[in-house]
Structure 1
Amino acid sequence: MKDLFGQAIYDYHFKNSPENIYTETSISEEDEMDVSYLFREFNEMPIIEQKAITLSKGKILDIGCGAGSHSLELQNKLQQDVTAIDISKKAIVTCIARGIKQTEVCNILDLNENTQYDTILLLMNGTGIFGTINQIPIYLNKLNKILLPNGQILIDSSDIIYMFDEDEDGGKWIPGTNYYGELTFKLKYKNEVEEEFPWLYLDYNTLQNAAIANGFKCELVLEGEHYDYLAKLTL
């Protein structure tokens, strides 16, 4: 991939003429995002992210850290032992420049299983990295291996059923045969277009069923203001 998301983060931090990011999914029109949002302070974060941070403890892994705002809060304000990882090299360069002490450019599936964690964070629609329903067991199996016996996975997502039109019977008309939260995601930055990639939104019940089927307990921690939620997975 071109790593346009990482480039936007890098440009903003290093004052390299940053521009807004444009995103689009298979069920939604193009939307504009100010890159500064990725650099938000704790009091600017959604309540779900604030709750996840306050629940984090022990040795922490921040997966898909982006600009590192969650890791910085944990490391600097709460004095926690946190490692930030992302597949984006430029995002990690930015995290290092912002002062995050432990970082790695890494896909979750390639993580060393010799290191285990008390808390694993998957925020900003953390279920997105699963890609599709069929890949959930692959990722949960990996998370199982890097989670300490009494550890926790804090993960958020949204039930996007609200985005679909109602049919004549008051139900939802959902095109296609796949699970409605399986989307393809497009991103544009500075007139460049990233390769499309799969991105998964999960309703809580589907996440809970998948968790139980793969050796986890699943608890609904908090519901947000717009169909979003925070869940906790334990072994």
Structure 2
Amino acid sequence: MVDVFGMALRDYQNGAYTEDIKTYSSLDEEDVIPIPYLFRTFDEMPKIEQKALQLANGKVLDVGAGAGGHALYLQKKGLEVTALDNSEGAITVCKQRGLKSTVLSNIMDYSGEKYDTLLLLMNGIGLAGKLNNLSHFLQHLASLLRPNGQILLDSSDIIYMFEQDEDGGYWIPNNEAYYGEVAFTMEYKGKKSKPFNWVYIDFNTLQNACESNGFNCELVISGEHYDYLAKLTLKK
């Protein structure tokens, strides 16, 4: 499988940045991921991410670490942090940038260690892929938590991407799937990734899933565009 994301990160890190990653989604949207944005500093991060990094404590696992910006910030703060990503290129870049502890793995295949904070930023909960995988995903995250541990995650309610009718309701395709489920393909320098599933979860849906999987779910802050930061802790 072509590691499109990792190729782009490596190019940027090695001074060969010439283009951004293109994304194609099942929402008929073509978009780009600006690669410099993936290397942003704390001051350049949205408030939601800054707040999550301020709340992170103890031993931290940064899930889907990408270029490692969040993990590097926490490492500089003196926290014991591990960057996990299933992109070989991303992990190479994390190491080049000075991260001491990295893991090349899919989160669902990773076990053994336990953490005080699991960080899933940039819609990290999207790694669940589909809504019907969410319970399994949350239970796996629970297995990685220390007794008083926390999960900090952000996501968005993408209802705004659907057309509204005159009385304020939304036109959502009635195909039985949850409207936050999206299939993506990434392209970089003419190479395409395999399509992958990604899910954006509105806060109420997340709260319900947490309730049925033994988690407390707290809304920490809401962002400017249907996005939010949530803190999950295991019920006593």
Q: TM-score, normalised by structure 2?
A: 0.96
Aligned 1:52-201 pairs, distance under 5 A: 52-76=52-76, 78-113=77-112, 115-167=113-165, 169-175=167-173, 176-201=175-200
Letter in 1 for 2:88: K
CA distance in 2: counterparts of 1:28 and 1:65, whole angstroms: 27
CA distance in 1: counterparts of 2:17 and 2:41, whole angstroms: 22
C-alpha distance after superposition, 1:107-153 (max 9, x if no partner): 1111123x100000000011210000111111111111110110100
Kindly tell me the number of residue pairs found equivalent between the two proteins: 233
Q: Which ranges of structure 1 fall in alignment gaps of 5 or more residues?
A: none
| Distance apart, 1:16 and its partner CA | 3.1
Letter in 2 for 1:11: D
- Whether 1:50 aligns to 2:50 is yes
C-alpha distance after superposition, 1:148-187 (max 9, x if no partner): 1101000100000011002354311101221100110121
Q: TM-score, normalised by structure 1?
A: 0.96
* Partner SS, residue 57 of structure 1: coil
Contact 1:8 1:18 in 2 (8 A): no
| Distance apart, 1:27 and its partner CA | 1.0
Question: Structure 1 vs Structure 2: percent identity of aligned residues?
Answer: 55
Runs of 4 or more above 6 Å deviation: none
Give the superposed CA RMSD.
1.1
| Distance apart, 1:28 and its partner CA | 4.1
* Partner SS, residue 112 of structure 1: coil
CA distance in 2: counterparts of 1:16 and 1:85, whole angstroms: 24
CA distance in 2: counterparts of 1:53 and 1:46, whole angstroms: 11
CA distance in 2: counterparts of 1:92 and 1:199, whole angstroms: 21
Aligned 1:30-41 pairs, distance under 5 A: 30-41=30-41
Q: Which ranges of structure 2 fall in alignment gaps of 5 or more residues?
A: none
CA distance in 2: counterparts of 1:92 and 1:9, whole angstroms: 10
C-alpha distance after superposition, 1:53-88 (max 9, x if no partner): 000000000000000000000001x11110000000
CA distance in 1: counterparts of 2:125 and 2:200, whole angstroms: 6
CA distance in 2: counterparts of 1:172 and 1:39, whole angstroms: 36
